[in-house]
Structure 1
Amino acid sequence: MEHGYDLLAPKFDHTPFRTPDSILRATTDALAELGPFERGLDVCCGTGAGLGVLRALCRRSTGVDFSTGMLAQARAAYPDATWVRADARAMPFAEGFDLAVTFGAMGHFLPAERPALFDGVYRALRPGGLFAFPVGAMPPPTSVAYWGTLGFDLAMRVRNAVWRPPFVMYYRTNQRPAVLADLTMAGFSASTVALPDGGITYQLVLARKPVTPSRSS
């Protein structure tokens, strides 16, 4: 995955895999009502699309990703931000951020990997800090999107069964109930709200770290 994203980095912003600007704007608008935020963290920042959200909400921003190619593109677009190369499942932060976001990255984590990811974000946030990210609703079985995402995931599973190294990217492994349950297990108080212009397609996950943590960080 790391090498693949290094190669894709110069073209990534022109692919359909980049989070649409409409979702980024809707997330910014929703989070603006929950601030203020001093320091923001973009988890799995890629080429930095989420930094535009953090720039509008925070005084200082940091992006973390494991791809040097992606970080190079992000650094060129947002030279005033701080950039850290690290695996999101083992981030080197401790209570340094008021807000953490991630966009388009959840499909790269298998369900068994989510606890490590969420634990790392929990540690990175100050007490009372917020972790936010959009999630798509499962389309109805009668829709083209339903069969499109099913077909994509099945194709990826076949690909990963016969080709090494595997490339983890699935649309249907991070459904809202399971994600909220894992966030709760990590110590967050988690809920979702509809994005202002996301209609019924997207919800914004809001996971708050308690001011008095209920677990050891």
Structure 2
Amino acid sequence: MFGPEGPTLRELAVQALSSVEHGYDLLAPKFDHTPFRTPGPVLDAVAEALAPLGPFTDGLDLCCGTGAGMRPLARLCRRSVTGVDFSAGMLDVARQRVRPTEVPRVAWVRGDARALPFADAFDLVVSFGAFGHFLPAELPRLFAGVRAALRPGGRFAFPVFAPPRPTDPGFWLLAGFDAVMRVRNALWRPPFVMYYRSLRLGSFLGELERAGFTVEPRVLPGFGRRADGSPRGRLVVARRAGAPDPAVTPRRAG
């Protein structure tokens, strides 16, 4: 799973026994050499699916990590892009790897996704692979903050992939990981919240609707379909209700 430039087993163990924030500070220099980084084909597929809904003016990458999603986000947004993450280490790496010459008008903000410091600032918010760090009870607060950060009519988008079947070894790998994390969090403080199987598509859709979004699920066709015909990859697109007022000049993000 990890190349020679990735973290050692000892480094992963130290990370797992830390808080989420400190753990990612430790992992940041080697994060892009782990399977936790969102693959390029996923980033490109999301950008391609969102392009017909644009152009967008200002975009936000929620839980941006080392900035892998900033380049495709910049292709969609005409004015500015902002990355927010609560790990200072991840943001330090992002600043080094996403240069202004590649992504102009970029801003980096250290902050908690559950308490975003923005209001009516963006037309598009995206997120890649971060929801395992939030407990189901935290979704209402998280989605309410995203809705507040969007302008009326703005969109919140993130990919969701079908979980493996019980006949797939990957199912038991993820189930085992979640079980180990629950035992670890029951015995060790501070907790490290990272559960691969705690959130389901239905939970996302219901919470988004309760938060005041109109939800538009879309298929990501490049990832094929399962044996039962259901898509392997979907893009959840949630639109903040209300048309933007053309008389109001949008605020610059960041």
Determine whether 1:83 maps to 2:108.
Answer: yes
- Give deviations 1:89-123, integer Å, cap 9, x for gaps: 00000001000000010000000011111011000
Poorly superposed stretches of 4+, deviation over 6 Å? none
Gap regions ≥5 residues in structure 1: none
Residue in 2 aligned with 1:66? 86
Shift of 1:201: 2.4
Whole-angstrom distance in 2 between the partners of 1:149 and 1:203: 20
- Give deviations 1:124-144, integer Å, cap 9, x for gaps: 000000000011212222111
Whether the 8 Å CA contact 2:221–2:233 is kept in 1: the answer is no
- Aligned residues between the structures: 213
Residue in 1 aligned with 2:25? 6
Whether the 8 Å CA contact 1:180–1:191 is kept in 2: the answer is no
Whether the 8 Å CA contact 2:160–2:233 is kept in 1: the answer is yes
Determine whether 1:210 maps to 2:241.
Answer: yes
Residue in 1 aligned with 2:248? none
Whole-angstrom distance in 1 between the partners of 2:215 and 2:119: 20
Whole-angstrom distance in 2 between the partners of 1:197 and 1:145: 21
* Matched ranges for 1:142-161 at <5 A: 142-161=167-186
Whether the 8 Å CA contact 1:108–1:169 is kept in 2: the answer is yes
Shift of 1:212: 5.2
Of structures 1 and 2, the larger Rg is shown by 2
Residue in 1 aligned with 2:203? 178
Q: TM-score, normalised by structure 2?
A: 0.81
Shift of 1:198: 2.2
Whole-angstrom distance in 2 between the partners of 1:198 and 1:101: 19
- Aligned-pair identity in percent equals 61
RMSD (CA atoms) = 1.3
Residue in 1 aligned with 2:227? none
Gap regions ≥5 residues in structure 2: 1-19, 101-105, 225-230, 245-254
Whether the 8 Å CA contact 1:19–1:103 is kept in 2: the answer is yes
With 147-156 and 82-91 compared, the bigger mean Cα shift is at: 147-156
